[in-house]
Structure 1
């Protein structure tokens, strides 16, 4: 399930990398920023914010549901089992992006 939820994440990782590469992180802390400039971060926040938040909420809720189901079967009784589940869920959701980047490196 986390691998399938990671497929739309390819788009967000790509768009976030474009934002970071086009505007250095040192300029994000400026006090006065013109939001109508072409190189402003404001349009990227408007475009990326809501869909990324919705996708993250769906990912978290689906993993909470999986932990709840595993807890009833006895697989996630310890706290370390929950931490392991979240770590594996994060890695599994990054698999489509890594595969896509590997394929893009060859072509």
Structure 2
């Protein structure tokens, strides 16, 4: 049986930051969905005037993209968490925030 060394904090941060680069797409999909349906229904946003396709594109495109990214993120972080010296209540929020850093940077730049 191979015994692995505990993962260091820079490794955890780096892996989640790299996962955040393709993670820009699911974050954009979630924001687009929120602006055009629930927030528009509440009257908080105006939304895209030509967006009248309904929910089928979200089930065919958005759902699998979100599911695939969530699965890849979880499968990458589960072994890292087991080998990490961080406690779970610190590890998971740090992992999520580091994954969102590229999306935040993209929003700030644009």
Q: 1:83 aligns with which of 63, 66, 89?
A: 89
Which runs of 5 or more structure 1 residues have no equivalent in the other structure?
Answer: 28-37
Count of aligned pairs between the two proteins: 87
Which runs of 5 or more structure 2 residues have no equivalent in the other structure?
Answer: 1-14, 42-51
Question: Within 1, Cα distance between the matches of 2:34 and 2:93?
Answer: 25
Q: Which has the higher helix share?
A: 1
Task: Give the equivalent residue in structure 1 for 2:107.
Answer: 101
- Pairwise CA distance, 1:46: 1.4
Question: Within 2, Cα distance between the matches of 1:90 and 1:16?
Answer: 15
* Paired residue secondary structure (1:39): coil
1:18 has 2:28 as partner = no
Task: Give the equivalent residue in structure 2 for 1:92.
Answer: 98
Structure 1 residue ranges, 4+ long, deviating more than 6 angstroms after superposition: none
- Pairwise CA distance, 1:64: 0.9
